[in-house]
Structure 1
Amino acid sequence: MTQRAQLLGSASQAALTVGLALAIASTAKAQTPAAPAPEAPTVRLPQLEIEGQEPPNTLRRSTGVSRLPGTVQDTPQTMNVVPRELLEQQNVVTLDQALRNVPGITATIGEGGGGVNGDQFRIRGFTSQNDVYTDGLRDFGTYTRDAFNYENVTVLKGPSATSFGQNTIGGAINIATRTPQLGSFYAGSLSIGQNSLYRGTIDVNQQINETTAIRLNAMAHYNRLQDRSDVDSGRWGIAPSIAFGLGTNTTFTVEYMHFQDNRTPDYGVPVVTPPGGTIGKPVTEFGVPRQSWYGWNLDRDDVSVDRVTARFRHVANDWLTVYNDTRIGFATREFAATPASCPATSPTFCLPTLFGPNPSSAVASRGGPGPFRQETWGAQNVTTAVARFTTGPFRHEATLGLDAWFQNDERTSFSYSPSARPTPNLFNPSHSSAGYTILPGTGANVREINQRHLGFFLTDRLWLTPQLSVIGGVRVSNFDIDQKLYGNANPTTKLSSNSTFADPRASLVWEPTPSQTYYFSYATSTSPPGSFVNTLQNTFSATTPLEPERNTSYEIGAKIGLFQNRLGLYGALYRIEKGNAFLTDPNTGDLLQTGDEQRNQGVEIGLTGLITPDWAINANYTYMDSETTRSATAANVGKRVQYVPRHAAAFWSTYEFFRDTPYQFTFGGGITWRSQAYLNAGNTAEVPSNFTLDALISHNFGDRRQWRVALNAYNLTDELNYDNLFGNRVNPSAGRTFIASLAVVY
């Protein structure tokens, strides 16, 4: 039996198990007398959600992070919320898909050698490699995340060091997970789509007594990517949780998640520059089929993640609330990938054959890093106190706390035998790895990294008048990193770095009415040497101490509630400056303390909520003017920052027809669009613009309309789009795809 057949069988069996569990839960609910409890919340479709939990205008929702008290509207910073309603309507299954609703985010492929291929995003043009959080805590390990346990996804734009710590150059991504709540409900869904897509989920919440509830979310999934040959994923996950003290001043929640994914990594298609041309483009722009995948049968990305989170909240009195959040996470990853390239200097590969009389004979070069196994474990504790008090005539809201985390990564490298990989034909690549094996690496093939962070943060919001307030804050951090390189009886090489730095923030906020917020904000973040050690282990050494990168943001914006706060309108002008960037001298290889300086400035506007009780909208647009303002490579000065388009937009809207009648149905759709982007600092390679048109039609039925049947269509115009960018290759996106689903909540 082939690996893909095994994946399909395992995922299908797991999907049947999910469905059986849902049926058992239904029977148990019908046959077992329920303990006295408040009546379960009513359900309002088309989205399968618990009514009354969250306002449709996402500006009125909580930030979801204890270090940022208040609502999105209260926070003087651009925050894009992708709510659960939208996730369900679009049938979102990964974090990457959720973030397509947020303009200004670019997905990149990442390299494999450092173990960072997976969810790699750039926010407003700058890497967020370490900036994906779950419930305000670090999500240890790098992998492709599934959305089965998501309540919503929030993107905080701009440096956010006082809340999250180091890096956060373009911002941070925070995922809110589903946790127990009072009342009982049972939900599940089954989906089937083109190219062998099968997915099943369950979401069961059971109230045990007046203040205690348990919840279980589970998922099984298998699919092959539409119009990408031999790229597939078989995965499953389970997330049980229990909460005590619900509805009281003291709550304690414990969550566990296990996630397992066996997928084929997709490293895309090469970028080539035609003879006589000056700008490189993907080979699929020159007639190569977008289905072409250049990996081989030894490629794999097998991930296992275990995560335990405990969250404590205590309202001590009417002015003090204390939070304590703890996480321990473990992740293992077996990874092997085969990127293809078209070296311009070799006449035996793509160039100039692709542009010659017989292009179908063109072949690519297979290369990239060798296979590896990476084991990651980490622990974090964040203690936060939020105090509301007055001093004389002034009202305060002070947030202070301590953030401590530790992470250990151990990567063992392997090699191929024979070492040279076969060259695939550009138009009809072979994936056979016959005659090849994976062997333990030679030399010092084990790299172990220990990272430790300790940070103290303090922010105070002072109301000068009931409408005008100022915010001042600072985070002082100490970051320590040790790296060891050893293996095969070789001497151990050690490197270390220790940095202490402070990141301030300041804001002026004017709220003339409860539905209007106008603000100016200033914030910084710091990227110390070694903080991106998995990809840039040369950013520190034993002999060359480097100063940290410094990142600064300025933003002026407004957030306004319309139609009795049913609809939210927001906009901002921003500028981010990145200075003192690390750089390796191209001539000597020496590490320089100061390298490229970059700037990105622009405007962002958006709408979120309900235009009418039946008409929902989520729309965002951003314009980004990026530039390299200083560089050791003079030709790069004045060029746009790589991976940053000038324009990006996301629009999604639905309308519910014939509500409260047997003929009810919902129709919706939207687009995602970004303009052309460059793939390198010299602006000599580019990826064309993306345009995707998606649509939804769904119908609710049953005595309480607890059932929903839906059909989602993606990329209706079958555009050749590109996601997951890298310097010399890009991933073609899926072509036209249809997915049908059946869901229930009761």
Structure 2
Amino acid sequence: MLTAMSVNAQAQSDDAPAAELNTVTVTGYRGTFMDSVKYQRDVLETPRIVTVLTSDLLEDQNVTELRDALRNVSGISLQAGEGNPPGGDQLKIRGFNARDDINVNGSRDLGNYFRDPFYVDQIEVIKGPNSAFSGRGSAGGTINFVTKQPLMEDRNRLETSVGSDELFRVTGDFNRRIDDNSALRLNVMSHTQDNPGRDVVDQERQGVYAAYVWGLESDTQVEVDFLHTRQNNTPDQGIPIDREGFSGDTSQLGSNGRTSGGQRASDGYYTGALPPGIDYSDYFGHVDDYQDIDVNQLGLAVEHRFSDSLSLRNQLRVSRVENDSLTSSPRLIVPEAAFGSGDFSQVQVRGDLKPRDQTDTSFFNQTDLTVNFDTGSLKHDLVLGAEVGYVDIENRRRPDVRGPATNLYNPTRRTRPEVPYDGTRHRLESEQLGLYALDTIAFSPQWDLHAGVRWDHVESTAMDYGWEDPIGPISRTDSEWSGNLGLVFKPTDNGTLYASVGTSFDVTGTFDRGLVQLAGGGSALTGNREDIVDLDAFNTDPEQTVAYELGTKWNVADNLLVSAALFRTDKTNARTPAVGGGDLLNVLDGEQRVEGFEIGAMGSLTPEWKLYTSYTFMDSEVLSSNNPWEVGSRLGGTPEHTFNLWSDYAVTSQWSIGGGMEYVADQVNNVASEPGARRRQVEIDSYTLLHASTAYRFNEELQLRINGFNLADKEYISQLAEGGAQGIPGPGRHVIATLRYDF
């Protein structure tokens, strides 16, 4: 993408020509500017917590997936989903779902797939409600991929990685200057790997990204880019969690005939224990489970600078993501007699088959006019913009099937039953229009006001096909205002104090677990046709979020940015589980709050010593819910404490060493219900992981890097299903050696 005549981070570090407007500047681990023209100040002067994961950091850590990169960002947790999860990157930022809040060069990147950053220069995490900048969603924050851009020089890089768990990876980065003002850049990737510490589960993917730009270093630039990735994975739905209590002390039977199940008297949660005798490596899927994903994206950006104070930019992005999968969700079957006898040797496990054949097609076009002008003594950096979007999500329906059961302790590998396509389809269409104005006003060298407002109009239609008595089409229209206001005080050139408030919204009709979830009436388009649509319930106001943040940022030793912030986020009209309903029923009758503080540092302590660290404390609570048992509980996937640290030191001009750690406190699942009922709020343990690296540069062209992950081989659950039925273990210890050749 062209961003105000900018060049990318890597170009800056390699003495490429300087940008003329906003420039993504990187020195070590510190990213100075964000990519989008919507942010008219650098990270230091932006009134919110912004985390920039630079190309240097991604390379030093040998990052191969988005989830690997995000371990550097405190306040983010990974999710497993449940029922029929769409797969791909599922995460929460500051306690709120951000699966659909991932952007590429500022355009929304919808679709469920695992993102490999082989074509990415930097990753930006902008925390707090962001609808004034990005539109619907973004309650906890947004993530933006900044892709590698063509440069005005010839350069090439090849990397080959081999590692434990049969890892083999090859990437190529080739840039060619075509003439005085155009260039082509090509990135390719091939990756195969068994998942560390997990039996059977593996990954295979290939990708290519190409970008061509005309008009470099001129007033008019045009860029076209294309991304294609293909993934063929053995999906991992994890290990069944003992929610029934049979792993507890059988001498401590409760009044309902069940054991304590590790219930913690101090907080009332049930420990998310693995059944006794089960290993973290055990696989409970069928032998022929699969996940095939194809991603195709096309981008076109045109930018013209009329003068030093006026520029116009238009960006179009079209995406199509095809996700075809059959996954098995493990479920425990515990005989009632076992709770009285204490003999659990006949416990069984069943793999419930969850098919998905979903295609996500999206089109987004953004136009931004940037104007710099004065009104008296006030200096304005104004961005006026419009965004038009279209989303079409279609799921070819195959019915959920309960797989065959087998003994938990003497299992037999099972072939999944055939699940033919039954001729039905579910579809969600959304047409979106957004108009926005973002103004950064300098009152004096010490005071800035950041003000933004956006109006969004969203028309959503849900329908199904192929049924004898089809549901739909069902439509609703939402028009919402979002705002952002921040005040920045700069007591010195290297420090800021700020206060900000922002809002966001999200409409009620979304694809979740492969369904169109509607308010109150459950799922409008459930494949099993269990629910009747309540049209009145569908016509429910969107979820609303407001957040407050008070913080400070300081440049220390010229190249180390230190930040701290207090924050509170309140969500109203939130989705909550319906009392007495099935797993798929939701109502919009809740209030949720997450508040806490965050501190961090990124950059360099000395020219040889790079540092990246952050800590976030989050106190989450359900304030109101249609389900009274949920009130007062923590939000699912929202650990109170998260901490990360990474440091790299250049011992000599050729040799460097690095290392770090990450800590995630205990977490609970997302649904609480009456004690003694089937669905309990389960708690999984905290974990600490240790990582290290070393690199040796033989000459200007050749470098060897070795990275070790989870060095203590910690066994842990990294992702917990919303209902607590299963957890996905995190990667075990693994090592990767990468040889890089520049030419």
The interval holding the TM-score normalised by the smaller chain is: 0.7 to 0.9
Partner of 1:272: 242
Q: In the alignment, does 2:46 pair up with 1:75?
A: yes
In the other structure, the counterpart of 2:348 is: 363
Where do residues 384-403 of structure 1 align in structure 2 (5 Å cutoff)? 384-403=368-387
Deviation at 1:414, TM superposition (A): 1.8
- Aligned partners of 2:30 and 2:220: how far apart in 1? 27
Structure 1 residues not aligned, in runs of 5+: 1-39, 45-51
In 1, Cα distance between equivalents of 2:141 and 2:30: 18
Residues 612 and 58 from structure 1, CA distance in 2 versus in 1: closer, same or farther, beyond 3 angstroms?
closer
Are the counterparts in 1 of residues 362 and 389 from structure 2 also a CA contact under 8 Å?
yes
Aligned to 2:289: 299
Q: Indicate whether 1:471 and 2:450 are aligned.
A: yes
Deviations 1:67-98 (A, max 9, x none): 22232222111111111111111111111111
2-structure distance, mates of 1:42, 1:151: 11
Quote the residue 1:88 is aligned against. Answer: 59
Stretches of structure 2 lacking an aligned partner (at least 5 in a row): 1-10, 16-22, 246-258, 264-268, 522-533, 673-679
Tell whether 2:158 aligns with 1:158: no
Q: Say if 2:29 and 2:612, in contact at 8 Å, map to a contact too.
A: no
Structure 1 pair 570–384 and aligned structure 2 pair: CA distance change class (3 A): same
Query: Aligned residue pairs: how many?
Result: 681
Given that residues 481 and 497 in structure 1 are in contact (C-alpha distance below 8 angstroms), is that contact kept between their aligned partners in structure 2? yes
Distance 1:352 1:194 in 2: 42
Change (3 A) 1:109 1:173: same
State the 1:356 CA deviation: 4.5
- 8 Å CA contact 1:292–1:428 kept in 2: the answer is no
| 1:657 CA drift (Å) | 1.1
Aligned residue among 594, 601, 612 for 2:606: 612
- 2:59 matches 1:121: no
Residue among 702, 707, 710 paired with 1:707: 702
Q: Specify which of 426, 436, 443 is matched with residue 408 of structure 2.
A: 426
Q: Closer, same or farther in 2 for the Cα pair 1:335/1:276, shift >3 Å?
A: same
Query: Displacement, 1:598?
Result: 0.7
Q: Which of 347, 367, 386 is the matching residue for 1:383?
A: 367
Cα distance in 2, alignment partners of residues 675 and 697 from structure 1: 28
User: In the alignment, is residue 518 of structure 1 matched against residue 512 of structure 2?
Assistant: no
Cα offsets for 1:316-336 (capped at 9, x unmatched): 112112211101111111111
Work out whether residues 31 and 53 of structure 2, in 8 Å CA contact, stay in contact via their aligned partners in 1.
no
Normalising by the residue count of structure 1, what TM-score does the alignment of the two structures yield? 0.87
Over 3 Å counting, the alpha-carbon distance change for 1:735 and 1:636 in structure 2 is: same
Q: What residue is the counterpart of 2:524 in the other structure?
A: none
Structure 1 CA distance for aligned equivalents of residues 83 and 291 of structure 2: 10
Q: Which residue, 563, 570, 591 being the options, matches 2:563?
A: 570
The correspondence of residues 103-502 of structure 1 with structure 2, limited to 5 A, is: 103-111=74-82, 113=84, 116-273=86-243, 274=245, 275-277=259-261, 278=263, 279-284=269-274, 286-342=276-332, 346-347=335-336, 352=339, 356=342, 359=345, 361-367=346-352, 369=354, 371-415=355-399, 419-427=401-409, 429-433=411-415, 436-441=417-422, 445-487=424-466, 490-491=469-470, 493-502=472-481
1:59 and 1:73 in contact (8 A); partners too: no
Over the aligned positions, Cα root-mean-square deviation in angstroms equals 2.4
Q: Return the alpha-carbon distance in structure 1 between the equivalents of residues 575 and 665 of structure 2.
A: 28
- 1:401-451: per-residue Cα shift (whole Å, max 9, x none)? 0011101111111247xx4411244345433317x3231226xx3101111
What one-letter code is carried by the residue in structure 1 that aligns with 2:665?
A: S
Q: Is the 8 A contact 1:366 1:424 kept in 2?
A: no
- Distance in 2 between residues matched to 1:513 and 1:235, nearest whole Å: 49
CA distance in 2, matches of 1:143, 1:135: 17
Equivalent residues of 1:82, 1:98 under 8 A apart: yes
Moved more, 84-93 or 625-634: 625-634
Residue 738 of structure 1 is matched in structure 2 by: 735
Distance of aligned partners of 1:519 and 1:440 in 2 relative to their CA distance in 1, 3 Å threshold? same
Tell me how far apart the structure 2 counterparts of residues 158 and 686 of structure 1 sit (CA, whole Å): 26
Give the distance between the partners of 1:73 and 1:218, measured in 2 at CA: 34
Q: In 2, are the aligned partners of 1:57 and 1:567 still within 8 Å (CA)?
A: no
Q: TM-score, normalised by structure 2?
A: 0.87
Which residue of 506, 517, 523 corresponds with 1:537? 517
What SS class does the counterpart of residue 234 from structure 1 fall into? strand
**Equivalent residue for 2:687, pick from 685, 690, 709:** 690
Q: State how far apart, in whole Å, the 2-side matches of 1:125 and 1:546 are.
A: 23
Partner AA of 1:318 in structure 2: D
% identical aligned pairs: 28
Distance 1:542 1:415, change over 3 A: closer
Q: Which amino acid aligns with 2:572?
A: G
After superposition, the Cα gap between the structure-2 partners of 1:483 and 1:655, relative to the gap in structure 1 and judged at 3 Å, is: same
CA 1:532–1:599: 2 relative to 1, 3 Å: farther
Whole-angstrom distance in 1 between the partners of 2:33 and 2:627: 45
Contact 1:270/1:283, CA 8 A, preserved across alignment: no
CA distance in 2, matches of 1:681, 1:376: 28
Change (3 A) 1:723 1:592: closer
